Amino acid sequence: MACLEPMLRRRQLLAASTTTLPLFLALSACAGPDPLAGPPPLSADVRALLAAVAAEQQLVFLYKRTMAAYSALTPALGTLLAEHQAHLAQLRARIIEPPGKTVPVAAPARRPIAGTPAAALARLRTAEQAAIAAQLRRLAGASPSLAQLYASIAASEATHVTELDSRLHG
């Protein structure tokens, strides 16, 4: 009899665990992720970062189209374009994409190029000013490292406005 007593305890424990474990899990309020719910929503930092990438892509696209339409502006705009491409690379480097998936980014808008080189430069200047304002708006809710990047890009774009002003009025 002494040998059966530990076995009864184990059997009782096993029987009790199969009935109480589901009850314990249901009552514990410890819910794991729902695999059918899909991916979690993007954080505010990620949404702002994706918006910054899309805005920088717009600027790159606008510079390329302007240079294609007015090749005489290429020497002056080439440096500014290279800086925007560097900004874009820095922003994209902050995006972590899951293996096998790419994060969607808005396609560049297809607005017509201005009719004269001066008008094209003025449009670039306006786009740069809008980009500065957008970068500064992103600062408020950004993490420190992203805020530093946004501020750095805004400062660079401010120098672009000065350069474009000198081309327009110089």
State the pLDDT at residue 41: 79
Report the distance separating Cα 76 and Cα 124, nearest Å: 12
- Read off the pTM: 0.73
Enumerate the domain spans of the chain: 44-169
In a structure prediction context, what are the per-residue pLDDT tens digits for the chain, which is 170 residues long?
555 555 556 666 556 556 665 655 555 555 666 667 777 777 888 889 999 999 999 999 999 999 999 999 999 999 999 999 999 999 999 988 777 666 666 666 677 777 899 999 999 999 999 999 999 999 998 999 999 999 999 999 999 999 999 988 87
Is the distance from CB of 106 to CB of 153 less than 8 angstroms? no
Write the CB contacts of 77 (distance below 8 Å, at least 6 apart in sequence).
63, 66, 67, 124
- The H-or-E segment that residue 71 falls in is none
> Encoding tokens for residue 73?
């502006």
State the pLDDT at residue 36: 73
Report the distance separating Cα 151 and Cα 47, nearest Å: 17
Q: Please name the residue ranges forming H helices in the chain.
A: 4-27, 44-69, 74-93, 117-139, 144-169
Amino acid type, 136: L
What CATH architecture is 44-169? Up-down Bundle (1.20)
